Amino acid sequence: ANAMHVKGATPAVGPAWKSEQAFKNRSSKAIAALRQHIVSVPLVAEIDKMVRLYRGSQWAQGAPILTATYPATYHVVALQGQPLQGAHLVAYQQCGNSLARHVLARLKLDGMPRRVSGLDVANQNTVWANISLSNSVGIAQNTPTALKTYLEQVNSERNTPHPQNDVLVKFLQVLQGGPKEIATKAMDELASPRQDWRNADGTGSPAPPGAGL
């Protein structure tokens, strides 16, 4: 079974390095053609930005990921080498390992009017409700950190992100499905929040529990 719904690489005909270089050359030519025919200055700037971010491996700034797993240089250490998640996985499923396809997808998105339908919101709520350790991050030594990162990513993709207090509550609720020791600590925190796990303004944050658990 292919749980990620990602196609494997097509075997090269002849030397692999020649095939890979030819693929990159075609991608570069396609991007150059897009720049030549697009008259919108902001869209051309967006093309240049995506290419620059990718070549500089600037993942934190939104560089497209052209592999099925997070790169070894990914800025979130807990995700390095792990299968793509959330929006990154969707982008890879749609555009694969072609930088040109990722650029084109971004241009299509930027060129479309922003509309938020009831179905969009319903889908976002379903994704949020279905987050669990087994389905989202797995159970390992870095589970709390990985869960924190995943929740922040999913929340940032919502049209209306949840407040940090709600993210903290979700973080602790999901951890209740984990190993007994972590689940017990999560239940205790939900019942009686610790002040040292709060931000200076009194709002919740999943960062301290992620470290403390």
Q: How far apart are CA 126 and CA 124, in angstroms?
A: 5
DSSP 159-173: SSPPPHHHHHHHHHH
Task: Write down the pLDDT at residue 98.
Answer: 92
- Between helices 118-129 and 143-156, what is the axis angle to 10°? 170
Task: Write down the pLDDT at residue 69.
Answer: 94
Of 177, 185, 170, 169, nearest in space to 138 by CA: 177
Contact 165, 177 (CB under 8 A): no
pLDDT at 198 over 70: no
100-152 pLDDT, tens digit per residue, is 999 988 888 776 555 556 767 778 888 898 888 877 777 777 788 888 888 88
- Between helices 16-37 and 99-110, what is the axis angle to 10°? 30
Task: Write down the pLDDT at residue 107.
Answer: 82
Q: How far apart are CA 85 and CA 93, in angstroms?
A: 11
Task: Write down the pLDDT at residue 72.
Answer: 94
Contact 59, 69 (CB under 8 A): no
Which residues, listed in sequence order, are joined to residue 69 by a DSSP beta bridge? 83
Task: Write down the pLDDT at residue 213.
Answer: 52
Instruction: Tell whether the torsion through CA atoms of 200, 202, 194 and 205 is positive or negative.
Output: negative
Task: Write down the pLDDT at residue 8.
Answer: 54
- The more confident residue out of 212 and 51 is 51
The percentage of residues in the chain with a pLDDT greater than 70, rounded to a whole number, is 76
Going by the DSSP 8-state scheme, the letter that residue 130 receives in this structure is: T
Task: Kindly report the number of other CB atoms within 10 A of residue 54's CB atom.
Answer: 18
Of 165, 167, 166, 185, nearest in space to 176 by CA: 185
Token pair of 1 as six digits? 């079974």
The reported pTM is 0.47
Q: How far apart are CA 88 and CA 100, in angstroms?
A: 16
8-62 pLDDT, tens digit per residue, is 555 555 566 677 788 888 989 999 988 888 878 888 888 899 999 999 999 988 8
Task: Write down the pLDDT at residue 11.
Answer: 56
- Give the pLDDT band of residue 73 (cuts 50, 70, 90): very high
Task: Write down the pLDDT at residue 201.
Answer: 58
pLDDT at 172 over 70: yes
Task: Write down the pLDDT at residue 1.
Answer: 42
Contact 57, 63 (CB under 8 A): yes
Q: How far apart are CA 183 and CA 173, in angstroms?
A: 9
